[in-house]
Structure 1
């Protein structure tokens, strides 16, 4: 049967938890009894304050995810730890420009952050995940090609579609590793990325996301799911 029973030995590594969805995700996992290691590019802040108040259930590591050197250093620092869940959260949005108006530097920055770096993180850290564990990435329904029926945010949509395709390639390459693989659409949230007019808050959506992560533990193959556990069309 799929699903995970959380115990004091259940461990999660959350990449990209300094703010927004990643911060709330790390907090929610810790609240449910997971031992959580969460990364941030900047020291201090709310994540560190939460860790200080967590009685050791939440610990913080420094990481600039776009740096292969820092990923390798993190892997070395965590080499003695094994995780039941590795969750990668990273995305930037540089505005609503038609693709013909997107500067090359902007295109490169968004693709590196939103598509390349999450997969580099999985590649660098996947061996820290226990057999039968879960690797997951925060995606978006904006990356669904079949659902792209409204104008706007062409670069962001392309970066999430690229992320999904790279995750599909990753799954093909590691089809026999026994790990559950998930792309998660958390919905449109009031974050720096989602904007102030979004219909959801992270505190509303992330508990549902964690429900999906816990329920899908042990499921084979790759799934692209929303926060309700429903399939998002590719």
Structure 2
């Protein structure tokens, strides 16, 4: 059956590919990004799938933007509920060197990668169908157990915080049968991952959607990769 799906950060990379593959499956998609008018690839998908895609403005790190979006979403849903929420929007400050890491970078990573997805999910909880799925796109770089070198500390800290907040969401939403997953997409050929990455966005998203489709309530709160393998915290 067609589902109603909300995707953040849908203007490029994984978010755009999630939108593309879900539309191809016949799902109704609400795709968000900070500047919809400039999201040409996303707007083209909307033109190719009339009535199936809604594009709305959202900056997940902004409290005011989240409140405005939540109000707009109620109208967009028109009485339906969300079957799947994909918290994909994220930020990476590359090239950080010890001695030069800034407070601004650390704070932005926490706002965008952890605080924003948690508070957005909390605000949208009433719009999630019982038994829905929340997929938090995180990273294996948020695994404390796997730290073996100094690198991108603001991103790593943001993703570690996102993992904890995702585990907390799993507990909060478990009475309604809502499954919350922390998902590592692999090293993917995106603006963030770089051209040298071994995975295409198509392969990563297809794998992630398969993991989402087969996830059970017993897996809620888990930290999994794009093939469904569990990762250490």
Q: TM-score, normalised by structure 1?
A: 0.90
SS of the equivalent of 1:204 reads helix
Name 2:28's counterpart in structure 1. 35
Q: Structure 1 stretch 20-29 or stretch 188-197: which is displaced more?
A: 188-197
CA offsets, 1:99-127, max 9 Å, x none?
A: 54211112111221111111111111122
Structure 2: distance between partners of 1:101 and 1:64: 27
CA offsets, 1:127-173, max 9 Å, x none?
A: 21100111111001111111112332222111111111121223333
Cα-Cα RMSD: 1.7
CA offsets, 1:20-61, max 9 Å, x none?
A: 111101111111121111111112311011011113222211
Any conservation in 2 of the 1:12–1:34 contact (CA below 8 Å)? yes
Name 1:157's counterpart in structure 2. 156
Deviation, structure 1 residue 207: 0.8
Deviation, structure 1 residue 217: 5.5
Identify, as 1 or 2, the structure richer in helix.
2
Name 2:60's counterpart in structure 1. 65
Name 1:142's counterpart in structure 2. 141
Structure 2: distance between partners of 1:58 and 1:99: 43
Structure 2: distance between partners of 1:153 and 1:233: 19
Name 2:191's counterpart in structure 1. 192
Which residues in structure 2 correspond to 1:184-223 (within 5 Å)? 184-216=183-215, 219=218, 221-223=220-222
Name 2:10's counterpart in structure 1. 17
Structure 1: distance between partners of 2:219 and 2:112: 27
Equivalenced residues, count: 227
Structure 2: distance between partners of 1:26 and 1:32: 10
Deviation, structure 1 residue 189: 0.9
SS of the equivalent of 1:155 reads helix
Name 1:166's counterpart in structure 2. 165
Deviation, structure 1 residue 70: 2.0
Structure 2: distance between partners of 1:174 and 1:53: 35
Any conservation in 2 of the 1:178–1:220 contact (CA below 8 Å)? no
Any conservation in 1 of the 2:70–2:124 contact (CA below 8 Å)? yes
Name 1:227's counterpart in structure 2. 226
Structure 2: distance between partners of 1:110 and 1:53: 34
Any conservation in 2 of the 1:140–1:185 contact (CA below 8 Å)? yes
Any conservation in 2 of the 1:185–1:226 contact (CA below 8 Å)? yes
Q: Structure 1 stretch 48-57 or stretch 131-140: which is displaced more?
A: 48-57
Any conservation in 2 of the 1:96–1:154 contact (CA below 8 Å)? no
Moved over 6 A (4+): none
| 1:177 correspondence with 2:172 | no
Instruction: Tell me: CA distance 1:25–1:215, structure 2 relative to 1, closer, same or farther (3 Å).
Output: same
Structure 2: distance between partners of 1:175 and 1:211: 21
| 1:130 correspondence with 2:129 | yes
Structure 2: distance between partners of 1:77 and 1:43: 14
SS of the equivalent of 2:199 reads coil
Q: TM-score, normalised by structure 2?
A: 0.91
SS of the equivalent of 1:86 reads strand
